Amino acid sequence: MGRPRKFEEERAVEAAMRAFWRAGYEATSTEDLCTATGLGRSSIYNTFASKRELFVKALLRYMEQREAALAELLDGDLPLQEKMRTVLWWAVDPDPGEPPGCLVVRSMTELAPHDPEIAGLLRRDNDRRREMLRAAIEAGRARGEVDPGKDPVALAHFVFATVAGLRVSEQGGTDRSGLELVARIALDAF
């Protein structure tokens, strides 16, 4: 008896997510997806209908994973400074098993300017994550961990933009020490 189709789909989406993350949408060929997923071309198209549909599922998976990790961190009991350090260091010192950069950031620059559906998915994801940051910063300000004159909305946008910039810099080859310099300066905002 073979594996259940749902399992195969989830495994294929995870593998495709990493392939798109590594190279981007346009540079990831169907052959790359076949190699990554272990599926034949016909199986990919029978299961997902198109490269784009597989990409959307992979992007949604990536966003769900990142959002869940952020929510777990921000809902925890650490002081705000440590939470922000952790968020920044996810970009400074990413898991060595992950491709460089960020699939969301890559998609914002590659696809969002000319794909309204992808742009909408990314905007909603970015809004949710910025709101999570804002709420954590607001709570930290209420506990006296942030200067009362600092705007939680502005700080959330700043952290979000800094992380995106770190991810682009990492993808472009900036070494860890360069990324760490930027992250340390960003922490001074708190």
- The model's pTM is 0.91
Question: Which residue from 189, 182, 147, 148 is spatially nearest to 163, judged by alpha carbons?
Answer: 182
The burial class, CB within 10 Å (0-12 / 13-18 / 19+), for 107 is: buried
**What average pLDDT score do residues 117-139 get?**
98
pLDDT tens digits, one per residue of 12-38: 999 999 999 999 999 999 999 999 999
- Give phi and psi for 50, each to the nearest 5: -160, 165
Could you tell me if 101 and 171 are in contact, meaning their C-beta atoms sit under 8 angstroms apart?
yes
pLDDT at 101 over 60: yes
d(CA 72, CA 49) in angstroms, rounded, equals 34
Q: In this predicted model, what pLDDT tens digit does every residue of 45-66 receive, in sequence order?
A: 888 989 999 999 999 999 999 9
Q: Which amino acid is at 58?
A: A
Inter-residue contact 56 to 64 (CB < 8 Å): no
What domains, with CATH codes, occur in the chain?
A: 59-188 (1.10.357.10)
3-state secondary structure of 57: helix
Helix (H, G, I), strand (E, B) or coil at 102: coil
